[in-house]
Amino acid sequence: MSYIDAIVAWVHAHPHYAFAAVFLLAFVESLPIGGSFVPGASAIIAIAAILPKDAESLLPALLAAIAGASLGDGFSFWLGHHYERAVLSRWPLKNYPGLVRRSEMFIEEHGVKSIVLARFTPPVRALVPLLTGIFEMPVHRYVAGNIVAATLWAVAHVGFGAFVGHSLALFEQKYHRYLVLAAAILAVLALGYFVARRLAPPVRQK
């Protein structure tokens, strides 16, 4: 079972913790470097797909994603603002000098817009919030950009997950009988193939 499958199965078993799971996934996914190894975005899409498609479920999930994403990036900004460039010489960041330079160039090119753009740019996603803190971007400018970025990111992922889940539910409702028939046909074909292989005489080597 994959990491995402395990999360979705756990949320199925504990639906009252779904919003907490969304918050934690969005928060961890926003952390420097470490967030690159946690498929938080994919897991949030999967969770949104299995939630009931009503405002009472989707709105809290959306708010949880916004809060987790904005606080995760805010924590990264604080780290950079507090420890400055010293944090780049420590593990694990010291192992990624190329990514650090690429992220610096990204900020130099886009300025405050980099906060929003980085949310949807995987290569620099993990370091831009940290580096904006190191570069001492004014806090009020960062907070404004961070809220916009987190909101757009949350709407995109929770919204897409809800759309996928709703579409699959409609498809299953409309074509359920055909899906069952197709599964039965595939099962018969697989069984026939297995039996034929078992009963077929062995091929003699010349």
Mean pLDDT (the chain) is: 83
pLDDT greater at residue 170 or residue 200: 170
* 91 residue type, one letter: W
Quickly state the pLDDT bin for 204 (edges 50, 70, 90). Answer: low
**Helix residue spans in 51-138 (DSSP H):** 55-83, 97-110, 113-118, 122-125, 128-134
pLDDT greater at residue 32 or residue 103: 103
- Give the model's pLDDT for residue 173: 60
Quickly state the pLDDT bin for 123 (edges 50, 70, 90). Answer: confident
Q: Which of 2-11, 67-76, 77-86 has the lowest mean pLDDT?
A: 2-11
Residue entry with tokens 């046909």: 185
Rounded to an integer, the average pLDDT of 44-51 is 90
d(CA 30, CA 205): 61
d(CA 44, CA 161): 8
Quickly state the pLDDT bin for 126 (edges 50, 70, 90). Answer: confident
198 CB neighbour count, 10 Å cutoff: 7
d(CA 192, CA 202): 17
Structure-block tokens of residue 83: 């420890």
